[in-house]
Amino acid sequence: MGLGAWMCGLIGAGAVVATAGFILLIFQLIFLLHKRMCTPILPCTWTKAVEPPNDKDYHTSADFGKSFTFKEIEECCEGFSNLIGETRLYHVYKGILHDGTEVAVKRAKKCAEIQIEIERNFHFQVELLSRIHHQYLANLIGFCEEKQQRLLVFQYAPNGSLFNNLHGDDECLSWKQRMGVAVGTASALAYLHQSCGYTIVHGDLTSHNVLLADDFSAKVCGIGMQVQSTLVNTPKGQVASGDSVDFKGRGMKSLSDDVYSFGVLLLELISGKSAFSENPGKIVEWASQFLQSREQMTILADAALKNVVPVELYSVCEIARLCIQTEAASRPGMEEVLFMLVQSLGIGLEQGAAPLNDAVA
């Protein structure tokens, strides 16, 4: 065989390989688009062989996490002397269990006007949150239902909320720490949306509802649960900020709303600016003008950060842009968002936290 024929054969083989690779890429893109278009956002369905909580038959049992006595919780909270927060329905106290575990205890307020709402909210949280557990959620440990006392026991996050760490007077979170929080939060949302056996909409994802553990890993809380069963006569339910239950389905949110909220959270992590403020106003409106080119993206970076990795910044800005698109159907799913973050940042899910000794930069 002559050299010319050999070269022609080699070129021909290369062309075949290139064409095959191109065709494979096209098929992959078609598959992803088809998957996104065919995956319904609603209705939210229960896919496990467990009936959802029923509005007409509230109950709790040992199947729904550890049941504490009121005396046990009162002792671990030292007589409820360490108040660390408050919501519309609950006072929040810090406590330490007998095994040394630090916990955050939500004690229902005693108010006749909201008593029915408290009962619904309490049982709803116990029956659902006790079935879901994830590394990056503020998981429910147990509860107490004794006479008129209603208490929920959660994992404690000693470093406070992401909002306070970004916008308070504390030392600035490093770029690495912020990206770890982004990956952890995305992982928690992907779990709620597709991997926990149910389809759960958070409904109120903000930097206030992302707590930071001792290693600065994310602990997502305040789950605004929206669960719609395919079973007949099962009520719809939503818990906004973990408090008010709406069983009539008013103000219901979708998975794409969570994606949008995550995009806003990414912009907060990148810029260090809050989602809403007098200056620059709504962060989405302000940041959108800088998401069109790499040169402009650098303007978004928090001036307090020193060791921002440019390639990572560009990638995270692009992911944020995809998440905050006006058309909900155009936004990626949280599993796609998580995949893009992990690929762009090179952070494994088990590394969704920066070490304690990570330098502030």
Domains along the chain?
66-155 (3.30.200.20), 162-351 (1.10.510.10)
> Percent of the chain at pLDDT above 90?
57
pLDDT over threshold 90, residue 178: yes
- Give pLDDT tens digits for 333-359: 999 999 999 999 987 666 554 433 333
204 is catalytic: yes
Q: CA-CA distance, 304 to 136, in Å (whole number)?
A: 26
Q: Which helix H or strand E contains 347, and what residues bound it?
A: none
Q: Is the peptide bond before 280 cis (omega within 30 degrees of 0)?
A: yes
Position 9 scores a pLDDT of: 54
Q: CA-CA distance, 102 to 91, in Å (whole number)?
A: 17
More confident residue, 279 or 351: 279
Q: CA-CA distance, 241 to 221, in Å (whole number)?
A: 8
Split at pLDDT 50, 70, 90, the class of 228 is: very low
Amino acid of residue 128: L
Average pLDDT, integer, range 70-75: 97
pLDDT over threshold 80, residue 318: yes
Mean pLDDT of the chain: 78
- Per-residue b or e along 285-303, where b marks 16 or more CB atoms closer than 10 Å to that residue's CB: ebbeebbeeeeebeebbbe
Average pLDDT, integer, range 296-321: 94
**Collapsing DSSP states into helix, strand and coil, what is residue 303?**
coil
Angle at CA 271, nearest 5°, toward 270 and 272? 105
Position 198 scores a pLDDT of: 85
Q: CA-CA distance, 217 to 292, in Å (whole number)?
A: 30
**Token representation of residue 77:** 């909270």
Lowest mean pLDDT among 109-123, 145-159, 237-251, 261-275: 237-251
Compute CA distances 156 → 141, 198, 238, 256, 357, whole Å. 10, 25, 24, 29, 21
Please list the residues that pair with 282 across neighbouring strands. Answer: 276
Position 348 scores a pLDDT of: 66
Q: Is the peptide bond before 43 cis (omega within 30 degrees of 0)?
A: yes
Instruction: Please answer whether residues 64 and 126 qualify as being in contact, where contact means their C-beta atoms are separated by less than 8 angstroms.
Output: yes
DSSP 50: S
Average pLDDT, integer, range 116-144: 92
Out of 124-133, 182-191, 237-246, 303-312, the most confident range is 182-191
Position 166 scores a pLDDT of: 94
DSSP letter string, 52-87: PP-TT-----TTSSEEPPHHHHHHHTTTTT-EEEE-
> Percent of the chain at pLDDT above 70?
70
Average pLDDT, integer, range 246-268: 79
- Give pLDDT tens digits for 9-63: 544 545 444 444 444 443 443 444 444 433 332 222 233 323 333 433 333 344 4
Position 12 scores a pLDDT of: 53
Position 308 scores a pLDDT of: 93
Contacts of 263 (CB under 8 A, 6+ apart): 284, 319, 320, 321, 322, 323, 324, 331
Position 172 scores a pLDDT of: 86
Q: CA-CA distance, 156 to 153, in Å (whole number)?
A: 9
Position 50 scores a pLDDT of: 32
pLDDT over threshold 50, residue 103: yes
Average pLDDT, integer, range 171-199: 94
Position 240 scores a pLDDT of: 29
Q: CA-CA distance, 24 to 150, in Å (whole number)?
A: 57
Q: CA-CA distance, 15 to 23, in Å (whole number)?
A: 12
Position 230 scores a pLDDT of: 25
H-type helices in the chain, by residue range?
Answer: 3-38, 70-76, 115-129, 162-167, 175-190, 255-271, 283-288, 294-300, 310-323, 334-345
Position 76 scores a pLDDT of: 97
Instruction: Please answer whether residues 285 and 275 qualify as being in contact, where contact means their C-beta atoms are separated by less than 8 angstroms.
Output: no
> Residue 148 half-sphere exposure, CB side, CA atoms within 13 Å?
6
pLDDT over threshold 70, residue 215: yes
**Token representation of residue 82:** 């360490």
Residue among 204, 243, 258, 302 flagged as catalytic:
204
Average pLDDT, integer, range 196-214: 93
Instruction: For the chain, give the number of residues.
Output: 361
Q: CA-CA distance, 163 to 142, in Å (whole number)?
A: 27
Q: Would you put residue 147 in left (φ > 0), alpha (ψ -120 to 50) or beta?
A: left
Instruction: Please answer whether residues 108 and 120 qualify as being in contact, where contact means their C-beta atoms are separated by less than 8 angstroms.
Output: no
Position 359 scores a pLDDT of: 36
Q: CA-CA distance, 43 to 231, in Å (whole number)?
A: 11
